[in-house]
Amino acid sequence: MTTLSRTAQGPAVVRRGPARYLASAVLCLALLAVALLASVMFGSKPTSLSDVLRVVTGGGDEYLRTVVESRYPRTALGVLAGLCLGIAGTLMQGITRNPLAEPGLLGINAGASASIVAATAFLGASGQRETIWWALVGALATGVLVHVVGTAGGGGSPVRLVLAGAVLSAILAAFIQAVALSRPKVFDTYRYWVVGSLGGRGFDALWAVLPFAAAGLLLALLLAPGLNAMAMGDDKAASLGISPARVKGAGLLAATLLSAAATAAVGPIAFVGLAVPHLVRALVGADFRMQILFTALAGPTLLLLADVVGRVLLRPEELMVGVVTAFVGAPALLFAVRRMRGAS
């Protein structure tokens, strides 16, 4: 059953019935299963489904096990990063009521990049483990600073937050360019990291950021009812006992934690946080509870499939997943926007 409700933004939005949710869940789970299997099967050395099944069940020769098992960490990181970026984008679009909002508006990518550049240039940081922690510190610090600047003086409107993020991102980008271009070693480190890739990272990257991702996900789930109330307008939400200021502040914190975790683990990957919320909204409607749950399935699916495309397109070379997501996500976003226009 499909019902219509009217939000403060104007046009009626479609709310899906239980049958539609069930069908959507089956579809998303099936696509995620395909993406997980493809991520383990495909790489610079092609392996068949029977090869993967032999390794999973404890068989196969040592070389085959090494090849297949080497793909486990990047698959797990793809799931984590896709989930984090997708849900962060959903939160950003809900809080700012801007369909073009995405995690980069908080300056997370710029903050993580600037932190890595500064640590490499001035503190001699090197290696994957140090890079992850410095990226995490920079991303979180920038997210908090954007929130402080955007809410200074009792403000906190979506426009002020976006402007604060844009200003800080511009300042940090200038700093990155000045340092990276003047120091070849820093430029080499930054060039590899800034594109965004699931390869070349182990499970230690996952364990390092998992607590922050888990905290952000839990907070996002708790905020879903408040975001539903805010979709009807701040005044209506306040009349229902919801504090818009608290929901916005907690939502920004959750988006910061999720974005920082993903960016620190795999580098800045664009478009996932923008495209996935539109896809999910077109599929399940305006209920943020359903959006967050289905984004946790759709985000990893999109990112893993983009990574598989990058691995097989230029085999035996590899195209970074951050490059592929734009090509994969753009048509999907256009399709979702058309569907939303037709439903409005």
Residues shown for the chain: 344
Return the structure tokens found at 50.
């029977």
* Element housing 13 (H / E): strand 12-15
Residue 342 CB: number of other CB atoms within 10 A? 8
Count other C-beta atoms under 10 Å from residue 142's C-beta: 27
Tell me, what's the pLDDT at 332?
63
What is the pLDDT, as a whole number, of residue 325? Answer: 87
Other residues' Cβ atoms within 10 Å of the Cβ of residue 140: 22
Task: Give CB contacts under 8 A, 24+ apart, made by 324-331.
Answer: 325/196, 325/269, 325/270, 325/271, 325/272, 326/270, 326/271, 328/302, 329/271, 329/272, 329/274, 329/275, 329/276, 329/302, 330/271, 330/275
Specify the pLDDT at position 289: 92
Q: Which two tokens stand for residue 208?
A: 């390092």
Decide if 107 contacts 169 (C-beta within 8 A).
Answer: yes
Which pLDDT score, from 0 to 100, does residue 340 have? Answer: 57
Say which CATH topology domain 75-343 has. Answer: ABC transporter involved in vitamin B12 uptake, BtuC (1.10.3470)
Tokens standing for 199?
A: 């390869």
Q: What is the per-residue pLDDT for 15?
A: 56
pLDDT of residue 96: 82
User: CA-CA distance, 108 to 261, in Å (whole number)?
Assistant: 10
Q: What is the pLDDT of residue 153?
A: 65
pTM, two decimals, is 0.87
Q: What is the mean pLDDT of each run of 10 residues along the chain (344 residues)?
A: 43 61 92 95 85 84 86 95 95 84 82 89 79 87 85 69 87 92 83 82 91 95 91 82 86 90 89 89 89 95 93 84 79 64 55
Instruction: Using alpha carbons, select from 25, 20, 93 the residue that is nearest to residue 297.
Output: 25
Burial 111-133 (b: 16+ CB within 10 A, else e): bbbbbbbbbbbeeebeeeeebbb
Q: How far apart are CA 75 and CA 37, in angstroms?
A: 9
